[in-house]
Structure formats: structure tokens, C-alpha cells
Structure 1
Amino acid sequence: MKPAVACALRQWQQLLTNNRNQERRRSQRWQARMRKAILLHLEVQHPHSYKRLNSSVPVPELYFGDGCLLKDFRMSRDSLEALIRCLGPERRQAWGHHMTVLTTVYWLAYELSYSVVSRAFQVPLSTVHRLVHQGVEDIAALRQSVIRLPAGPELEEVGQGFQQLADSPAFSSCVGAIDGCHISVTIKTPPGPSGQDYINRKLFPSIQLQTMRWDG
């Protein structure tokens, strides 16, 4: 390839990369404006009611702002917004679709009590209970569209595979297996501000590995 052609190709690739980056930044700015608009709507929807969302609450403000969500929700912003989209259109309820998802994910991420989540979001305890139950039901309803279980001849074939692996007929009806383990990290605490995230419940640093086996 001639040097002039190679240089032109590099410049073209760089131009495409710059255009993609600009488009991504525009999309991020638009999403941030939409989140702020939703927050404003929730604030003024019930200005003289307990349903009014307090915008100074740190946890929900992280989502409606530009903060990193991984530490508090254990999900990236893209993953959380994808989950919100997958859960369908917003319901006609006082607290809004976003608050239902945020409350549920926060509760699931840390296995917290309802009272702790109530204080974190500054909403009534009974409301947290209702939002979490509704959110869990909505997420569970997605299983029909995101999880495909074997059936018919495929089910029998998968069961036979687990029976052979376990060398026991007790596993002939097994359709899948999932497990996890903590892999110890050699250094005491990983560097950086997120180093404490690697400390497990037994107080040593590790990386969690989750594996799933299913040929389907």
C-alpha cells in the first residue's frame, strides 16, 4: 500500500473515531438532560405532599446527575439504563418508574433492610416495601424473554449430559449449574479508591468468579 493511501486511511479512521466519540458525548449529554428533567418532574409533581422527591438525597441524585453508579448500585450506568428500558413503559404511579428500579437495584446490591433503604432514599418505609416488591416482580417477569430453558428432546439431552458428568442418575433432570468462588488476591489491598471493593465478608481481598455450565 502506498504511503499516501495509508495516510489517507489513517486520517479517515481517525475522523470516524472522532465522529463516534462526539456522537457518544452528545448522547450522554442528552441522557443527562433527560434525567434532570425527570428529577424536576418528580420534585414538582407533588410539591405539598410526602411524595415529593428530595433532590438533595445523595443516592438518587447520583443517578439523576453524572456520578458513577458502580459503587452504590453495583451496576454501570449503561447497564442500569438498559434495565430501565427493558422493564417497559413507565407506570402511572406517584414515585415513577425510575425510582422503582433504583430502589430495587440498591436493595438487591447490598441486601439491605427496608429501613436502611428508606433512610438512603428518604422515602417512607412502607413505600420502599411496595417499590421493592414491585421492582422484583418486574425483573422476574423478564425471565421469559432473557432466559431460554431447554424443552422436549433438548431437555433430555442436557439432563443426560449432567448425569454423565456427575456419574449419577440423580442429575438426569438437571438443566444447568451455576456456582461462584472467591479467588484470593496476593496483595493486601488493591490500590486506588475502589480497593476496598475487593474485600470480601471474610476480610481478605479477592475476585469473585461466577461460572455457569449449560450447552444450550
Structure 2
Amino acid sequence: MLVLENRRKKNTKIASYLVFEEIDGFALPYKGYKEVILGNKTPDDIMGSSALQAVLVSLIHGYLFSQIDRKNYILATNESGLHINKGTNLSNDIAIFRKLRHPIKDQYFDVAPIIAIEVDTKVDLSDTPYHTDTDYIISKSKKLLDFGAEKVVWVLTKEKKIVISALEGPWTIVDFDHDILIMEDCILNLHKLMLKEDIVF
């Protein structure tokens, strides 16, 4: 059971443009936001993805685009916003949704993705209820699953591991060379995909 210490009732003093996500009313700012407050960096310095994150997200997205049934599913990327409820607004590196039967709005998604895929973490946890990245990953994954996602996949580049959480069955941690069933008829092997594209890190 994950127990979170209430370090602050709400960290509402953080400027909204420095906030990456919000969970249960707690603002989760970008890593490096304190350097912006101190004047050592600009917001643009901290909001972009690293080269590694950007390449992996692009690689995975491109692969999935060629594999999924695009008549029935749609891919979203670019840290697409997801509104779950008041006080909980998330961001996804890659999300697969069932195709909507009504026009797409110029707002956050308000329906759960079938699959959410994340590459690393981008938040500063120092003034939040989360002590570690693991706490945050578990909490965000659970929020997504409780909202209706069927599977959440986290790619952790430092550890070269992939965390897979699903509505049914145990959560698992595997190496990059493991075959991962994303959805029916769609298997991702990140190691093989990187080799094919001559990507090393």
C-alpha cells in the first residue's frame, strides 16, 4: 500500500506556467522550476524534453502508428492533456484512444486512453506528497487505470527498464528487450526497435 505524507496541504504558490501536472490538488512542477524562480533559467529551458526522451517518444509513436488499427483507434502525443476531475490533470507522452464519435475539442481529453505510454519523469517532487519517482509513477499509473485506461507503460531510460501496469494481472518490470503486448496484434520490443533505427544511448 502506498502511503503519502502530506508535506503541504496544497502547493498552490507555484505559478501555473511552471506546473506540468496536477494530482489530487497538488501541483507537480517541471524539474528545474526552482532555477526559473531564482532567475537562473527561463521557462523554456526546463519545459522541453531531453534529446533521448524526444527520440524515444518519436520512435515508439512512429512504430505504433504503423501497427494499430487506425480505423478504430487514434494516437495522441506531444504531452496530450487529460482531465480526470477537479484537481487532477495529467499529461501523456503517448496515448491510444478509441476513436471518438464526436468532434475533437480544443481542450484536454476527458475520456481515458486505452493505453498510456510514458518515457521517464519530468516533475520536481520536492514539495509534493511523493518521496520518489516510484511513488509518483505508481500514483499516476493508478489514476489512469482507475479512470479507465487498460494499460500504462513507463520507459525508464536510466534503469533501462519498462514498468507495465494493467487493470488485470500483476504489474511487471521488464528489460528493454522484452516483448510487450501493447494491444491486440501490437507487440513492442524497444531494444529491437532501437537496433533497427541505429539508436544507442
TM-score w.r.t. structure 2 length?
0.24
Q: Which has the higher strand share?
A: 2
TM-score w.r.t. structure 1 length?
0.23
Q: Which has the higher helix share?
A: 1
Structure with greater contact order relative to length (CA < 8 Å, sep ≥ 6): 2
**Higher gyration radius (CA):** 1
